[in-house]
Chains A and B, each alone.
Chain A
Amino acid sequence: MERRAVFKSRWLPYALIAPQVLLVFTFFYWPTGAALVWAFTLEQPWGGGSAFVGFDNFAAVFGDPLYWASVGRSVFFAASATTLAMGVALLLALFTDRQLSGYRAYRFVTIWPYAVAAPAAGLAFRFIFASEAGILAFLNQISPGLWNPSMNGNQAMLTIVVCYSWKYVSYNFIFLLAGLQAIPRALVEAGAMDGAGVLRRMRDIQLPLLQPTFFFLLVINLTESFVDSFGIVDIMTGGGPAKATNLMVYKIYFDGFKGLDYSGAAAQSIVLMVLVMALTFVQFRFIERRVHYR
């Protein structure tokens, strides 16, 4: 954080952060701490007892020959989902911001996907992607077997990337739009006076000024695509076919929430958290340097 702090007070900053810090401690750190302790034990789900096992759970995670494949898949998923969701959102936001006629309608409709509850979205995408009865089924009429995510792992991965991004496009869109609107119109107008065309102004004025928002979304998108993607996997593929969409977080969800292996899930959670934190750190260290806050 490069900003020079400008106000000085002995107590005020602490008073300002106190409410959120209290909430975060009570509802996140305390329970999370309790859950992560399980990573070093074998915990009986109904609370009948637990035995301390040191790093055995981690040894089990890393000793699984298929674990690294799931790490690779998670990284691939996060990278492609983030790129897709942010790229599309940026395009839509920049063009909506031109405020041509009808932009209010565009803006309204583009926010919708975020408001759709999970079961409804799941059903809709099932009809779109189903290989025999869906909208994409026509591909199989062109060439039988061309589209079959129930057997083809890459296609299954594609479906979850698209479904996941669909929702996050609107998430990103709304923040990017807000970021664009916070850019002083005078700056853009000055650009126009100098003879810069629309696209040129986007590139030279709006995009650079959008960097802080963009960085915010990049970090959030990457983090969430690692951590928040189990729901869509569960609805769409269940981690299949043959583990092709078995993301790290889905395995955590499956082992811990469904399979009641609390200790295994806790150990995997720690691994995932370390990975995401490292990634976040890299982003702050190397990418934020290039962000111009003013």
Chain B
Amino acid sequence: MLYRERMGRAARIALLAACGLVGTVAADAQTRTKFDLWQGLSGDLGERVNDVCKRFNESQTEFEIVCTSQGSYDAAVQNAIAAYRAKKQPTIVQVFDAGTLDLMLSGAFVPARQLMEENGYKVDWANYFPGISNYYATSKGVLLSFPFNSSTAMFYWNKDAFAKIGETAAPKTWEDVEVAAKKMKAAGMECPLAIDFDTWQWMEQFHAIHNLPIATRDNGYSGLDAELTINKTKFVDFVKYLKRAHVEGWAKIKTRATGATLGEAFASGDCQMTQFSIAGHGTIVKTSKPGMNWDVAMMPVYAGTERHNSLVGGASLWVLQGKSKDEYRGAAAFLAFIAKPESEEYWSTVTGYIPVTKTGFAAMQAKGFYDKPTYKGRELAIQSLTASEVGPLTRGVRLGGFLQIRKEVTDALEAIFSDKMTVEQGLAQAVERSNATLRRFEKTYAGKTLP
């Protein structure tokens, strides 16, 4: 009896399930041209990208973009590669900074300029901020992909803590930082400066704003035979500076393993200065301790150094080869749509990312976007990205196996800070191992030249 009852219930569930499936399949009628975008963001940001796609779909009736989050940047690239090789690729894929070079050398994409010209869009390419566009452009400055979620690193400082030591302005140099930090320490603050081992903000940005080479051959832009140079630049002194700060107790390491990342340590008011991406600005607004006064500033430089532009971070959108004409028309329409000033404003409103075009930025300024307390200070990111003319050392970093290289440097920093190696030893080892990666990459792409 019981048995039969149970079976009856199981059958009902199965029936319901079957109906549900038929329902979803039948609902799939379509008339618009569909095309895919695979993105690498997840969580709140992934949702925001989907919102952008929704806005595009609502703005016109000819195309329908289907945006699928692949959960992480690496999965997006990896899955796009797998799909591309099986000829099932999406039309557009979002690729993060370190994945750019492989794609550039692959011939698997439709260059940005070509796509827009073929589909009848007139784009003023000079309208993109050169500090952003050069990261995704050929060495001659021709843009290959579309800058999308873009950021740069900023210096975050706690105004209340500075008030306590009698200061009202953000430090401009690392010397100033040291003075302030020591005063804070003396005033009983536990963590004046928060640091971690992420190379993007501590190594890459440092080189750019000081106009120093990360690698030979113009940071790799002029050839695949580049070699890392970070153990020959002022970066060595900077690492020593940070190490000393750590030993003397006015800098604290804040990583996931210690319990709070840089942003979390800053938002909670535990740490008074740090530097990380402007994209985290909105998060600090939402999660900072109530009543805490804080602001962002451009990253400090060493005294006596002329400031150069900082580097962009984030990802860009690439259009892949092998899709139909209609899908390319759709892709072009979408990419034109997200470059509109109102789209840029929307994107910067719902995320911490910055506008990538001059007109977009100007329109937002004119509308008073940066006067609102929630967004105030974000305009400094643009100021930082445009602090100088973009030169051969501040266009970006174009190194093969860049993810492995970043990891080698992070490993070296960890070894240095835990006293396993001296600064010189650690950086020398990172350079040696990174150069092996670079040679391997060069051999893999033997016979190919950088565009």
A to B contact number (C-beta, < 8 Å): 119
Q: Kindly provide the distance from the CB of A103 to the nearest chain B CB, expressed in whole angstroms.
A: 24
Contact A134-B411, Cβ < 8 Å, known A43-B444, A242-B418? no
Q: Is the CB of A44 within 8 A of B106?
A: yes
**Cα(A137)–Cα(B260), bound, Å:** 12
Closest-by-CB residue of B relative to A253 is B74
- By a CB distance below 8 angstroms, the chain A residues around B441 are 261
Q: Is the CB of A152 within 8 A of B260?
A: no
Q: Does A191 contact B (CB under 8 A)?
A: no
Contact A151-B106, Cβ < 8 Å, known A242-B411, A261-B401? no
- By a CB distance below 8 angstroms, the chain B residues around A153 are 418
**Cα(A258)–Cα(B105), bound, Å:** 17
Residue B414 contacts which of A151, A257, A261 (CB distance < 8 angstroms)?
A151
- By a CB distance below 8 angstroms, the chain A residues around B258 are 130-133, 148, 150
Q: Is the CB of B403 within 8 A of A259?
A: yes
- By a CB distance below 8 angstroms, the chain B residues around A42 are 440, 443-444, 446
**Cα(A258)–Cα(B103), bound, Å:** 14
Q: Does B257 contact A (CB under 8 A)?
A: yes
Q: Kindly provide the distance from the CB of B20 to the nearest chain A CB, expressed in whole angstroms.
A: 23
Q: Does A177 contact B (CB under 8 A)?
A: no
Query: Which stretch from B25-33, B76-84, B145-153 is at the chain A interface?
Result: B76-84
**Cα(A129)–Cα(B256), bound, Å:** 10
Residue A240 contacts which of B103, B411, B444, B445 (CB distance < 8 angstroms)?
B411
- By a CB distance below 8 angstroms, the chain B residues around A134 are 259
Q: Is the CB of A51 within 8 A of B446?
A: yes
Q: Does A260 contact B (CB under 8 A)?
A: yes
0 or 1 for each of A123-143: is its CB under 8 Å from B? (1 = yes) = 000110111111001000000
**Cα(A224)–Cα(B9), bound, Å:** 38
**Cα(A66)–Cα(B29), bound, Å:** 57
**Cα(A106)–Cα(B446), bound, Å:** 61
Q: Is the CB of A47 within 8 A of B108?
A: yes
Q: Does A241 contact B (CB under 8 A)?
A: yes
- By a CB distance below 8 angstroms, the chain B residues around A53 are 443
0 or 1 for each of B250-274: is its CB under 8 Å from A? (1 = yes) = 0001011111100000000000000
**Cα(A127)–Cα(B264), bound, Å:** 13
Give the number of chain A interface residues (Cβ < 8 Å): 43
Residue B401 contacts which of A237, A240, A259 (CB distance < 8 angstroms)?
A259
- By a CB distance below 8 angstroms, the chain A residues around B373 are none
**Cα(A255)–Cα(B410), bound, Å:** 15
0 or 1 for each of B404-422: is its CB under 8 Å from A? (1 = yes) = 1001001110110110100
Q: Does B290 contact A (CB under 8 A)?
A: no
- By a CB distance below 8 angstroms, the chain B residues around A137 are 259
Q: Is the CB of A133 within 8 A of B259?
A: yes
Q: Is the CB of A130 within 8 A of B257?
A: yes
Q: Does B111 contact A (CB under 8 A)?
A: no
Contact A47-B84, Cβ < 8 Å, known A132-B258, A257-B74? yes
**Cα(A259)–Cα(B81), bound, Å:** 13
Contact A151-B417, Cβ < 8 Å, known A258-B74, A259-B401? yes
Q: Kindly provide the distance from the CB of A45 to the nearest chain B CB, expressed in whole angstroms.
A: 5
- By a CB distance below 8 angstroms, the chain B residues around A46 are 81, 84-85, 102-103, 106-108
Contact A151-B253, Cβ < 8 Å, known A46-B103, A241-B414? yes
Contact A259-B404, Cβ < 8 Å, known A48-B106, A132-B260, A137-B259? yes
0 or 1 for each of A150-167: is its CB under 8 Å from B? (1 = yes) = 111100100000000000
- Name 26 interchain pairs, CB-CB below 8 A, sorted by A: A42-B444, A44-B106, A45-B102, A46-B81, A46-B84, A48-B107, A48-B108, A48-B445, A48-B448, A129-B257, A130-B259, A130-B260, A131-B258, A149-B257, A150-B253, A151-B253, A153-B418, A237-B257, A241-B411, A242-B415, A242-B420, A254-B404, A257-B78, A260-B102, A261-B401, A264-B440
Given contact pairs A44-B102, A46-B103, enumerate 6 new A-B contacts (beta carbons under 8 Å): A46-B108, A51-B446, A126-B259, A130-B257, A137-B259, A150-B253
A residues with CB within 8 A of B: 42-48, 51, 53, 60, 126-127, 129-134, 137, 148-153, 156, 236-243, 254-255, 257-261, 263-264
